[in-house]
Each structure stands twice: as structure tokens, then as C-alpha cells.
């Protein structure tokens, strides 16, 4: 399994993730670029384990996105459709209103939200 993220908070638990056979792929890229990378991985044979637009924070409000994927036995069209729709939605939100230039404190709040939501999901996957 793979955790694709632009949230550096996950680096703090990389050993824990690895012990659960979940590889961390941290990328210093934008929210939409994370979705595009996930799409590329789906084209290479991965499937989504988490919804790419989870949570109630709009794509034009936060800078952070994390997606959990795993290698699929066959091409997963549902994952591709879901990620393509997520990219279109995120681009639409960004076009309507750009992400504000948040203070570091607000950015950290968004990192915590992303981290907590995905960490809880990961914990459920490995129960």
C-alpha cells in the first residue's frame, strides 16, 4: 500500500506506516498535483482506498491532500473515474476562488485535519 501526500506531518510517523507495510510517498507539490499523481498511479495499476475529496474542507481552502492506494489485480475503472472527477472538482473550486495565503498557524491546522482524517482511516484499514 502507498500513502501519497503533500502533508509533511506524515514524515513523523513514517516508521509506523512502514511497519504496517504502508509506504509513504511525500511530495512537495500542490493539492491538485497530488490528485494528478494519484491518477498516474491508477493508470499504472493502483486503486484508491480513500476518497480523494474526503472531509469537509473545500479544495480551494486547504493546501494539503493525502490519498491511500494499493496495487490492484486488474485496472480499476472506478478509481480512475473517481480521481478524474475529483481533479475536475478541485480545479473548479480553484477557478472560482483561489486558496488564500494562509498564515503558518492556519496551514498547520489544515495539516492536522488532513493527518487526523487519514490516520484514522489507515488505523481502520489495519484493524
Per-residue pLDDT, 101: 93
Do residues 17 and 124 lie in contact, with contact meaning Cβ atoms separated by under 8 Å?
A: no
Cell numbers linked to 108: 498547520
Distances from the Cα of 101 to the Cαs of 94, 96, 98, in angstroms?
13, 16, 9
Cell numbers linked to 68: 491511500
pLDDT of 127 strictly over 90: no
The Cα 43–Cα 87 span in angstroms is 15
pLDDT band at 38 (very low <50, low <70, confident <90, very high): very high
The mean pLDDT value for 29-48 works out to 98
pLDDT of 13 strictly over 90: yes
pLDDT of 119 strictly over 90: yes
**pLDDT tens digits, residue range 74-90?**
999 999 999 999 999 99
Per-residue pLDDT, 6: 99
The Cα 34–Cα 42 span in angstroms is 12
The mean pLDDT value for 64-71 works out to 98
Average pLDDT over the chain reads 96
Q: Is 2 helix (H, G, I), strand (E, B) or coil?
A: strand
The mean pLDDT value for 31-52 works out to 98
Cβ neighbours, 10 Å, residue 47: 20
The mean pLDDT value for 18-40 works out to 97
What global pTM score does this model have?
Answer: 0.95
Cell numbers linked to 73: 489485480
Per-residue pLDDT, 125: 87
Amino acid at each position: 500500500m502507498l500513502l501519497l501526500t503533500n502533508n509533511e506531518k506524515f514524515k513523523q510517523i513514517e516508521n509506523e506506516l512502514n511497519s504496517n507495510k504502508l509506504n509513504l510517498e511525500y511530495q512537495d507539490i500542490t493539492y491538485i498535483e497530488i490528485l494528478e499523481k494519484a491518477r498516474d498511479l491508477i493508470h499504472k495499476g493502483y486503486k484508491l482506498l480513500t476518497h480523494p475529496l474526503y472531509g469537509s474542507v473545500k479544495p480551494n481552502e486547504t493546501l494539503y491532500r493525502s490519498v491511500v492506494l494499493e496495487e490492484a489485480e486488474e485496472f480499476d475503472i472506478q478509481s480512475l473515474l473517481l480521481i478524474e472527477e475529483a481533479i475536475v472538482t478541485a480545479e473548479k473550486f480553484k477557478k472560482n476562488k483561489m486558496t488564500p495565503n494562509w498564515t503558518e498557524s492556519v496551514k498547520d491546522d489544515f495539516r492536522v485535519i488532513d493527518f487526523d482524517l487519514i490516520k484514522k482511516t489507515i488505523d481502520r484499514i489495519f484493524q
